[in-house]
Structure 1
Amino acid sequence: MSASYRGGEPVAEIVRSGFAESLHRGSVAVTDPSGNLVASIGDTGSAVFPRSSNKPMQAVAMLRAGWEPGTSADLAIASASHRGEAFHLAQVASVLGSAGIGEDRLQCPADLPSDPDARTAVIADGGATRRVYMNCSGKHAGMLAACVAGGWDLATYRDPEHPYQRLVIATVEELTGDPVQAIGIDGCGAPVLAVTLAGLARAFARLVEAPAGSPERRVADAMRANPKLIDGTRGPDHRMMTAVPGLLAKGGAEGVHVIAAPGVGAVAVKIDDGAGRASTPVALRAITQISGLEIPHESKPEIDALLWPEVHGGDQPVGRLRTLL
């Protein structure tokens, strides 16, 4: 029986017109560059589902299976939670095409793009939901490409007992230093693996500190070289990685966010109520205030906007989310 996540401590509040109207509780794990836990808030030793923060580790397994992406952008989209913008769709098509696979092989749910402009354009053109629009289609395309490289069955690639998924489990356990404590079904239908927050932070520290050319470093480098592919034009991961050279960031559903930087370490955050609005500010606060990440002077306005997001009343800012770290 796995140890269930027990919950965290107050980590953020919403202040509207000078009045604190909401409180977010959560947990934060902070590691040094070697992956050693150096600070923690809340429950960092019980298992959580990292959701899409698992994707970089799943991409490492793709490379270990023998997949050779045509470009770093192909590897980035396989690690992404994309928004269905045109350049995202083109990159997913690139992964599928280079492996000789059609869109019909994707087993993620059909969806509309999550980017508002892209979704509006599809609807205006009378378009319908498609699997490629779903934010995990890049990951599913990479999984299929890995199966082609490994000579494995394509129809069952989501099965936890499939050779590729067994390789993912081994990879996650190696990078996190944790045993996988539970296997669930993610929103996209692929397996999601439960590990501790401390292990999740440790894995990201290992990604950015890995030797150049290793599968771990290749994934980290691809994501950092193509940040707009990771979560779209408006995405916080894109904005953070663009603003701070060397930073690696990947969010996940249900209030998970992980950030790492070479020579600094990594932080992993889980917000108890699953609210994504708190996970990014708390993770940024932890890596700057606890880990000591220095923000370039020219990037401070962008980082501050992510660190202290505004609360609006009507069409005017009337407050902010305030971290409590």
Structure 2
Amino acid sequence: MNSNTLVDAPVIREPLHAPVAHLVRAGVVEGIHYGSVVVLGADGRVEFQLGDIEAAFYPRSALKPVQAVAMVRAGLPLDGELLSLAAASHSGEERHLDGTRRILALAGLTEADLRNTPDLPYGPAVRDAWVREGRPASRLAQNCSGKHAAMLYTCELNGWSRHDYLDPAHPLQRAVAEIVEDITDQRIAQVTVDGCGAPLFSVSLHGLARAVARIASSPPGTPEACVADAMRDHAEMASGADRDVAALMRAVPGLLAKDGFEGVEVAALPDGRAVAVKIADGANRARIPVTAAALARAGVDPELLTAFAGEPLLGGGQPVGSVRAVRALDRLPLESAA
């Protein structure tokens, strides 16, 4: 896209979020999660919105598919499970560690070349086992290591320096920024540093939805389609065996989905229908039921989404309520949230 056709950067302001989910216990609304939601039709038009979809915000790891597209456009030759891992917020399972090592080996590099922040595995079960075994935090275990390994490989292929690949002025990160603007159709509002140390670009929720819609609906053979196919075909590589985002992709045929810290989720179908969600308080328990309700609004069969409609609340070990999307958004069967 010509840069002259980009819309202006979203305004940096306090987002005008709205209630998007209720915590209901025995018929009483005990808590409210605020946030914003946008649903795009196959023609790219906004079919539904709640809250503030135009304010600047940080997509966090929900931007990783866009970063992966930028690397493929820059010559990254990965496909299948390794390309999925390049767009992953992985759980730190052995397959994720092995896959990251494989990407590094293709570049002639090792874990010592990674510059992401050392951490314990993201997956709770994997992390608990890691701690029991007395293993320390590492760059390999950190959930963004696949992306960082792919960034290093992209640098090697292009003859770019490696030691400073996280600098926003580095050729790699300038290329990523260009693709972020191209694929969201808007200028970046702000650049900061994500938790893993990589540059993080601020766009709008609406722009993020446009981006994932474009990735999911691009023609076969394009960089966008390569990333979408890899993530859809290897959902557990992009997340983890027990992760809700992988379960959602398995449940809805053709769905591309990606989560991000601080309550962000994007999802899109091959025909271009897409949703994007931001939970203001970052609560994961609201992220999935709101995403499921948004997908139902987008026309996904509600029967495919009942398992994601609401996390049960327990009282004395028994279900007494749930976290559900607000009625203005929710079209899922009520019986699914016992």
TM over 0.5: yes
Q: 1:5 offset after TM fit, Å?
A: 4.3
Q: Which whole-Å CA distance do the structure 2 matches of 1:37 and 1:212 have between them?
A: 25
Once residues 312 and 178 of structure 1 are traced to their aligned partners in structure 2, the CA distance between those partners, rounded to angstroms, is: 44
1:268 correspondence with 2:279: no
Cα pair 2:288 2:309 within 8 Å, conserved = yes
1:107, distance to aligned residue in structure 2 (A): 1.1
Whole-Å Cα distance in 2 between the matches of residues 123 and 255 of structure 1? Answer: 26
Is 1:317 aligned with 2:313?
Answer: no
Q: 1: distance between equivalents of 2:144 and 2:316?
A: 34
Q: Are 1:85 and 2:87 counterparts? A: no
> Aligned Cα RMSD in Å?
1.5
Q: 1:264 to 1:59 in 2, by over 3 A?
A: closer
Structure 2: distance between partners of 1:313 and 1:187: 36
Aligned position for 1:118: 126
TM-score, normalised on structure 2? 0.90
**Cα distance per residue 1:183-235 (max 9 Å; x no partner):** 01111111111001111001111011101010001000000000011221111
What do residues 239-278 of structure 1 show as CA deviations (whole Å, max 9, x unaligned)? 0111111001001111111111122510111111121221
- Name the residue aligned to 1:96: 104
For 2:28, the equivalent position in structure 1 comes to: 19
Structure 2: gaps spanning 5 or more residues: 1-8, 330-338
Q: In structure 1, how many angstroms separate the alpha carbons of the residues matched to 2:150 and 2:114?
A: 10
Distance verdict in 2 for CA 1:8–1:16, change over 3 Å: same
Unaligned segments of structure 1, at least 5 residues: none
- Say yes or no: does 1:159 pair with 2:159: no
Q: Percent identical across equivalent pairs?
A: 44
Q: Which residue of 210, 213, 238 corresponds with 1:205?
A: 213
1:291 aligns with 2:298: yes
**Residue 117 of structure 1, CA deviation:** 2.6
The whole-number CA distance in structure 2 between the counterparts of 1:126 and 1:198 is 44
Q: Does 1:148 align with 2:136?
A: no
More helix, by proportion: 1
Q: Give the letter for the 1:175 counterpart.
A: I
Query: Which SS does the other structure have where 1:228 is aligned?
Result: coil
Mapped contact 2:22–2:324 kept (Cα < 8 A): yes
- Counterpart in 2 of 1:3? 12
Alpha-carbon distance between aligned partners in 1 of 2:128 and 2:205, rounded to the nearest angstrom: 37
Tell me, what secondary structure is at the counterpart of 1:43?
Answer: coil
8 Å CA contact retained: 1:24, 1:273: yes
